[in-house]
Amino acid sequence: MHVDGIVYADDALIESIRDDQALEQVANVAFLPGIQLASLAMPDIHWGYGFCIGGVCATDPADGGVISPGGVGYDINCGVRLVRTNLLRGDVRPVQTQLVEELFRRVPTGTGRGGKYRFTPAELRRLMSEGVAYLLGRGLAVDSDLEHTEARGVLANAEPDNVSHRALARGYDQCGTLGSGNHFLEVQAVDAIFDTEAARSMGLEEDMICVMIHSGSRGLGYQVCDDALRSLRKAPEKYGIDLPDRQLVCAPVDSPEGRQYIGAMCAAANFAWCNRQLLMWQARECFETIFGRSWQELGMDLVYDVAHNIAKFEEHTIGPVSKRVWVHRKGATRAFPPGHAETPAAYRKIGQPVIIPGDMGRASWVLVGQQGSMRQTFGTACHGAGRVMSRTAAIKHARGRRIDQELAAKGVIARARSYKGLAEEQPAAYKDVDLVVEVVHRAGLANKVARLCPIGVIKG
């Protein structure tokens, strides 16, 4: 190990973490060439491919630093966006079921499912190069959507020509689709406010209805990762890199192999931001149908969109020196503090919004980044609650039960393509997000702003 491994947790969370192979993965990441400061893990840590979910590391190209697809994940730029509304819980209660049914009918969900937005290979390349700005030109976004998306919805290092024909074929009709697994679209109500000033800056107030969207780069991003893992298979041997786990396959940032992956990864990240933009656009249309008013009249403004499976070239202070490093965030969310140049102007005073979804039976959170994140974690916080049960175990645990009826008894209307989808994502499969968020808050990485409770959810 070139550096220490550091895990953010408390006494309660560390008990479940000890039973997971993820701790071994934290140690393995510390072997990567050019790694800086530490191999880090957030409190939602659990086992993943190569890196643990919740894993963070930064590598310095000037120090032989590498780029590793395992530090980004298969679902490149999986992320979360939060949309506010002017509606209150009482406004939605009479049409709660009707609203969820409309969302489930019109928003494509499920494995491999395509949608109404279709792009030719040439259009896809433009979309992957320009990001959300491309949709702005097609009337499917407004200026404030770009302003409130991390990196304005585009990474400049994108090289669409590095994306394979197979990936393009998988992506041509999947931009604007939710997918399956832990991806969701939730209607939520603000349950409690913890920071009045920050909540006001985001346009949030108690009892307000919001929409949270969790999805990524779909089949296109999966294929980009799969292609990269295959093409990088012999790179460690070529460059004399000794790895404790072959799932950490990597290449020096400035090598041809490294540049090839970075270009394709950034292109897939731009696709993912466009995917969430189109999912939000369809949600706005559904609300317009149910409430008979335009989304502008309903106040359906984007609060923020954060990526949580991505590698980005950022400037950070490490010891006495400021460096440009490649920050790998695998199931981890950027949490830049007040005053940071990359935080939107509307949030510069309070810090970047940090969106942390929980499970569909309990709660999700909005926080704001703090200075402690820059000192400790390369400006990073956790991305969710984190699993405590595998999908196989969750299905077994749900045997003989009706998860949809259990959620309905709590006031949550849930729709999914299959029983299996709800069983895998039942609340018991996840850590209590309140405990996870408390660790992040107490560690000074991000401060609590608002807690949101689900009232409707659609899944694949």
pLDDT at 283: 98
Statement: the pTM of the whole predicted model exceeds 0.75: yes
Considering Cα of 376, then 380, then 381, then 386, what sign does the dihedral take? negative
Q: Are 5 and 26 in contact (CB under 8 A)?
A: yes
Cα separation of 43 and 232, whole Å?
30
The angle, 0 to 180 degrees and rounded to 10, between the axes of the packed helices 218-231 and 256-291 is 170
Cα separation of 419 and 434, whole Å?
27
pLDDT at 86: 98
415, β-bridge pairs = 458
Cα separation of 392 and 390, whole Å?
5
Q: Are 276 and 305 in contact (CB under 8 A)?
A: yes
Mean pLDDT by 10-residue block, N- to C-terminus, for the chain (460 residues)? 97 89 96 98 96 98 97 98 98 98 96 92 96 97 98 97 96 96 96 98 98 98 98 97 96 98 98 98 98 98 98 96 97 98 96 97 97 97 94 93 94 93 93 97 98 96
- DSSP calls for 122-147: HHHHHHHHHTHHHHHTTTS--HHHHH
Half-sphere exposure (CA, 13 Å, Cβ side) for 410?
Answer: 16
Residue 411 φ/ψ region, left for φ over 0, alpha for ψ in the -120 to 50 degree band, beta for the rest: left
Through-space distance between the first and last CA atoms of the chain, rounded to whole angstroms: 40
Cα separation of 38 and 32, whole Å?
11
pLDDT at 418: 86
Closest CA to 429 of 395, 388, 372, 374: 388
CATH class of the domain comprising 4-459: alpha beta
Q: Which of 214, 308, 328, 383 is catalytic?
A: 383
The conformation of residue 149, written as its DSSP 8-state character, comes to: B
Phi, psi dihedral angles at 365 (to 5 degrees)? -135, 150
pLDDT at 452: 98
pLDDT at 451: 98
Q: For strands 413-416 and 79-88, give the pairing.
A: unpaired
Which tens digit of pLDDT belongs to each residue from 385-413? Answer: 999 999 999 999 999 999 999 999 999 99
Tell me if residue 397 is catalytic.
no
**What contacts 367, CB < 8 A, 6 or more positions away?**
335, 353, 354, 356, 381, 437, 440, 441, 446, 447, 448, 449
- DSSP calls for 386-437: -BSS-HHHHHHHTTT--HHHHHHHTT-EEEES-HHHHHHT-GGGB--HHHHH
pLDDT at 344: 95
Which tens digit of pLDDT belongs to each residue from 111-136? Answer: 888 999 999 999 999 999 999 999 99
Coil vs helix vs strand at 197: helix
